[in-house]
A and B are shown apart, each in its own frame.
Chain A
Amino acid sequence: MTVLNTQELSNELILNAAGEGIFGLDLEGRHTFVNPAAARMLGFELKELLGLPSHPLWHHTKHNGEHYSPEECPIYGAYKDGRIHHGDDEVFWRKDGTSFPTEYTSTPIFDDDERLMGAVVTFRDISARREAEETISDLRRQNEYVLQSAGEGIFGLDLEGCHTFVNPAAAKMLNYEIHELLGQPSHTLWHHTKDNGTPFPQEECPIYGAYKDGLVHVGEDELFWRKDGSSFSAQYCSTPMRNAQGHLIGAVVTFQDISERKRLAAELLEAAKMAEVTRVLGNVGHDIKNMLMPVLTGTSLLDDELKDIFPLLAQADSEVARKSEATCTELTQMIEHNARRIHGQVREIADAVKGVTSKPYFVSCQISKIVEGVVKSLHVLAKEKGVAFYRKDLDTLPLIQADEKRVFTALYNLVSNAIPEVPHGGSITISGRTNTELQMLELVVTDTGKGMPPEVRERLFTTNAISTKAGGTGLGTKIVKDVLDVHQGSIRVESEVGVGTSFNISLPLNRPGQHDP
């Protein structure tokens, strides 16, 4: 076998075995040879291609459906201008009329005298690659969409700790525009100070830690600082980012503003504490009421005994006996008076407990009757203090749907709180009117008392209310507020130091959730 023959044979073997399509063209664009891969990809038999011009057979139409004239064809261009032509955005057409995206190279061939004699073309079906590219671009779009729409803040950091990307949620929470963050170091911008007010050294920053030690760092509750200098509690996760070689290239950080969650948790804890306190208070109250019974009834019995026994004394008329009887009466009255005061406070506590625990019980109520009850219960105390009660426009008020006991409790508390505030000779007025527009009944409790300074007014209706009453629990206005909350009513206070205080109560005419029949 000659050298030439050997060369030809090996060429043939290569052509046949190649996975790429390979064919030769003469100066007319006709196939001079075609390898099996090329024929297979195009769906032709070898003999259907050899000797025939390539362009009209499988390169006749552009991918957008337009006619592809042979003059434009870069494959033919190679043997026309003697240069290598390359294409990766065209389609080749199969015999069955379908097409596939392709990447090709058309290389001119010259004879020994450097004259063009045709071209050799190699090509590949790149549908799989295109598909992969599309998948990648879909994924990228999807990732982008996730980043854009995520409620969590998400950003990337490079090895210097500068933002490489920032999603809108992150920018919004930090109160920056995205472009103000990109390229800027994160730590000094919004992670610079700890919650105790001391600086947060960058070297300690767990967020930066991720791209330093390659571990995931989680922060349960740290302060992130907004552009305006305010801050919020954040929970974050900083995950190291590596390139294909496994080298650290930065970190991806996700974070959430947890201030609302923290506030709710604190509120729940507060409510749970409150419930426990009221439960204990309720039990204590029960015990005290039990213990008061022997005290009160015993005092009354003792008083009777003394009244029975004194006249029977041998020297009943003596100065000593009379003085002693007077002292005994004074003492029994004192015991009774103080026992009743204890009872009053226990009742106040019990009302507060009820405000937290018991279910409301709605019935048709006549406000004037409830006010009458309140005035009756308190008139002795008012009289002692020289305070007059006035009632105005209450008899004409319509019936309302309400929890009678609770409304009584609320009014009782407002009025009994007012009495010690009113100087001798002052008054407390309870007036009412119907607001037909809002379907509300409005009650005003006005006193001519000392009035409240703003700091006392602000803390009204909370468990932190300040009691100015000697020995008061300070729960009174909180009880009132609880009652109004149950009725979906409202309370407003107007007060001026030295002039007096007005509590304006609004109660719905109908039970919340129900309307006129």
Chain B
Amino acid sequence: MGRVMVVDDEADVRKVARMSLEKAGYHVIEAEDGEQAIQQIKEGDNPLMLDAIVTDINMPKVNGLEAIQFFQSQWPRVPLIVMTGYPNLENATELMKHGLVDYLTKPVDREKLVAAVEKAMSQRELGSFTN
């Protein structure tokens, strides 16, 4: 089963995302922000073992496209799923062009979150994220 990194500055959001994904059989790593995400990966884990990242894009330290670019520069092969409380069609289209797998609007339904991660996994398996 895959490993998913959930990045959100709200602990409860991370918790329910983790529980939902764990229930669907994924292994989940949590991080408050990008820096902590790197930290988590560095601490003994193999970065290649990361299969998907689910991240908020409105966080105190990084925002929007910046967040996407940050993760893509860190882990270019890992598919990204965005969760946001500020749904914005133009923004979403723009982000999709940057290789985003999915764009979820908060509050994200459990089923939708799991479905988005599954979709990301299948794309990864198909090799569409190998550069």
Contacts and interface: CB of A to CB of B under 8 A. Distances in A.
Interface of A: 285-287, 289-298, 300-301, 304, 339, 343, 350, 358-359, 361, 405
A491 to B, nearest CB: 23
A286 B110 contact: no
Sorted from nearest, which 7 A-B pairs have the closest CB atoms? A294-B12, A297-B16, A293-B107, A292-B107, A286-B85, A289-B85, A289-B106
A301 B107 contact: no
B107 A405 contact: no
A279 to B, nearest CB: 12
A289 B56 CA distance: 12
Contacts of B107: 289-290, 292-293, 295-297, 339, 343
Nearest to A288: B85
Contacts of B15: 294, 298
Nearest to A342: B107
Q: For chain B, give the interface size range.
A: 20 to 34
Contacts of B106: 289-290, 292-293
A66 to B, nearest CB: 87
Interface string B1-30: 000000000101101110110010000000
8 contacts: A286-B86, A287-B85, A289-B106, A290-B85, A296-B107, A296-B109, A297-B19, A301-B20
Interface of B: 10, 12-13, 15-17, 19-20, 23, 58, 85-90, 105-110, 113
Contacts of A285: 85
Between A292, A343, A405, the greatest number of chain B beta carbons within 10 A of the residue's beta carbon is seen for: A292
Contact of A300 (B89, B105, B110): B110
Nearest to A340: B107
B89 A298 contact: no
A361 B20 contact: no
A157 to B, nearest CB: 62
B109 to A, nearest CB: 7
Contacts, number: 65
Contact of A301 (B13, B19, B86, B88): B19
Contacts of A300: 20, 109-110
Contact of B13 (A293, A304, A405): A293
Contacts of A294: 10, 12-13, 15-16
Given A289-B106, A292-B107, A405-B89, A298 B16 contact: yes
Nearest to B86: A286
Nearest to B113: A297
Contacts of A296: 107, 109-110
B88 A293 contact: no
A358 B90 CA distance: 10
Contact of A297 (B86, B88, B109): B109
Most buried by B among A293, A297, A298: A293
Contacts of B23: 301, 304
A287 B58 CA distance: 11
A466 B12 CA distance: 36
A287 B107 CA distance: 10
A301 B113 CA distance: 13
A85 to B, nearest CB: 95
A297 B110 contact: yes
Which of the listed residues A294, A358, A361 has the most CB atoms from chain B within 10 Å of its own CB?
A294
B88 A358 contact: yes
A301 B110 contact: yes
Contacts of A291: 10, 12
A373 to B, nearest CB: 14
Nearest to A404: B89
Nearest to A358: B88
A240 B109 CA distance: 76
Contacts of B20: 297, 300-301
Contacts of B113: 297
Most chain A CB within a 10 A radius of its CB, from B17, B19, B23, B108: B19
A293 B20 CA distance: 12
A398 B10 CA distance: 46
A293 B108 CA distance: 6
Nearest to A296: B107
Given A285-B85, A286-B85, A339-B107, 6 more contacts: A286-B86, A297-B16, A297-B107, A297-B109, A298-B15, A343-B107
Contacts of B10: 290-291, 293-294
A293 B89 CA distance: 21
A338 to B, nearest CB: 13
Contacts of B89: 361, 405
Contacts of B58: 286
Contacts of A358: 88
A151 B118 CA distance: 72
Contacts of A287: 85
Contacts of B13: 290, 293-294
